[in-house]
Copies of this chain bind each other. A is one copy, B any other.
Amino acid sequence: MWAKMEFFQEQAVTSSDKAFFRLRKEIVEGVIPSGSKLSETELSTKYQVSRAVVREAINRLEACNIVERRANVGARVVSLSPEGLAELYQVREALEGMAARLAALHMSAEEVADLNALLNSQSHEVKSAELYYQEAGDLDFHYRIILGSKNSHLISMLVNGLYHLVRMYRVQLGMAGPRVTSAFDEHKHIVQAISNRDPELAEMLMRRHITYSKNNIEAKLQNSL
């Protein structure tokens, strides 16, 4: 059912790709704690590759805003903060709102049908409390709309950039599954607007959905700090 999640199944062809993916994974999942320094030599011995490939991986992570680098000093994993989270969600609201608007205009009839089918399958699981995949389901929903915008800049910024940071916050604040049913209803309304080819409403609903999501995760952040 979640077979269509091969979205970010980005395949590593070069050695730097592998280092980049591995390093990103370890950072996002907190194996490498946020705020810690990234030593090029240390990582090169740990990953059994040259310093050049580690360096390239770190440069890419810098472009994703996952690490901060200072010339002649080094790179540090970004540190998580309430302000950083708020900024992140403000950008998400802007970009995903636009994505929903464009999706209402550009998604094919088949893609809209698939999106409805996805929601129906999720509806069953929500009712029967099979919430195992709820996080993956949420991701799947958002990814489809982002891709449905057919805007390569939008897609790249969100998929390659922001979403890994969002996941970093989610994972490291340990929020497995909040707000399942209410989020599901919001998803339903968004899809309805897209089905009706109503760009303005789709954008507005998506923005409200993300604002709610922000408030929810911010509340959790208050507790965990």
Contact = CB atoms under 8 A, between A and B. Distances in A.
Determine which residue in A52, A72, A95, A102 has the highest number of CB atoms from chain B within 10 A of its CB, and name it: A95
A157 B157 CA distance: 9
A56 interface: yes
A127 interface: no
**Oligomer: number of copies:** 2
B71 A90 contact: no
B153 A87 contact: yes
A91 B154 contact: yes
Size bracket of the A interface: 20 to 34
A152 interface: yes
Determine which residue in A52, A60, A151 has the highest number of CB atoms from chain B within 10 A of its CB, and name it: A151
A91 B97 CA distance: 11
A94 interface: yes
Interface in A38-81: 52, 56, 59-60, 63, 65, 71-72
Nearest to A154: B91
A88 interface: yes
A1 B59 CA distance: 37
Given A59-B59, A87-B153, A153-B162, 7 more contacts: A13-B71, A56-B56, A90-B153, A90-B154, A91-B157, A94-B95, A94-B98
10 contacts: A59-B59, A65-B153, A87-B151, A90-B98, A90-B151, A91-B95, A91-B151, A91-B157, A94-B98, A157-B157
